[in-house]
Amino acid sequence: MPNTNKTFLRALNGETLPVPPIWLMRQAGRYLPEYRATRADAGSFLDLCYNPDLACEVTLQPLRRYDFDAAILFSDILVIPKALGQHLAFKQGEGPQLEPIRDASGLGRLSMEGIHASLGPIYETVSKLSDALPDHTALIGFAGGPWTVATYMVEGKGSKDFANIRRFAYGDPKGFDQLIDILVEATTQYLLKQVEAGAECIQLFETWGGVLSENGFNRWVIEPTKKIVANLRAVYPDLPIIGFPRGAGLHLIDFKEKTGVTAVGLDSGVPLKWVAENLQKLGPVQGNLDPMYLITGGDEMIDETRRILETLGNGPFIFNLGHGITPETSPDNVDKLVKFIRNQ
């Protein structure tokens, strides 16, 4: 039975609560002046990710302002390719830069041998957070889904059309399966260590799953997620796991039924009435305010929030965004959002 002080875990356990728990993707981020100051102290984004004291600090910053019901480890999905031996750098204004692996011949550059040594500071961050969080606040660990992490490994950076990875995956599916298998194993080991260090729930971010064909989605999103879930549950049978396959649309039913995830994260484009009538009957859902409303604020933000609460509030539900908070967001709008939800 989950800790009854933690409404986030109660919702994941299937309870319908009068006030849904709330946390926001990228709640620790550049919209907060205190985050920007800590990031400057760290030196670089990666330095911040690998400094347990500072990563713990930025994770706690939004809790001091908004008392969210869950904290999510501050890190990045690309620590996995770095741990496997792929060169990673973040360039100001350009985002992540990796040495691309464009076909199966490049897989020999990857190795599982040193992953825990590389990821050790992140496990330390989880442990520090587990000790530091208030009793009513749940701790979420996370990783990127194998397909999404692979997009960066193959493209070498963010992409708009994902041409290189789709060419690799569709042109040499067995070779591409090898990369996905490596990522399933590395992600499993990484997440097991996070839970061992104190994470109470895991979220898998499959941010770019929506660019795949139906067969591709089944092969490289559903199947790898199913394997990771089974691997984690073999060690921690009651571990709550949230899957967030952004852009999955009608695939969400198959994703929920076939992967075994506890809950499904919703992007902002999913029709809520359909969710309430179909997906929410299968288990808890999380989402899905468009982050742009946190920039515009005003009555429109409140009206859209009310619509989400009214449509999804009659079943197990966690309030969140449909994607991460953007740097242009006003902290005051986040405060208004949280107060509106909690004062219903």
pLDDT in tens, 137-155: 999 999 999 999 999 999 9
Average pLDDT of every residue of the chain: 97
Percent of the chain with pLDDT over 70: 99
Using CA atoms, how far apart are residues 154 and 164, in angstroms rounded to an integer?
7
**Global pTM?**
0.97
Catalytic residues: 26, 30, 39, 76, 152
Tell me the average pLDDT across 4-18. 95
Residue whose C-alpha is closest to residue 331's, from 34, 93, 73, 133: 34
pLDDT in tens, 197-225: 999 999 999 999 999 999 999 999 999 99
Whether the per-residue pLDDT at 169 is higher than 50: the answer is yes
Q: Which residue has the tokens 């480890």?
A: 73
Question: Which class for 277: exposed (0-12), middle (13-18), buried (19 or more C-beta within 10 A)?
Answer: exposed
Give the residues across from 202 on adjacent strands.
Answer: 141, 241
Using CA atoms, how far apart are residues 341 and 21, in angstroms rounded to an integer?
9
Whether the per-residue pLDDT at 323 is higher than 70: the answer is yes
Using CA atoms, how far apart are residues 98 and 293, in angstroms rounded to an integer?
33
Percent of the chain with pLDDT over 90: 97
Q: CA torsion 67→68→69→71, rounded to 10°?
A: -110
We find that the CATH architecture of domain 73-249 is: Alpha-Beta Barrel (3.20)
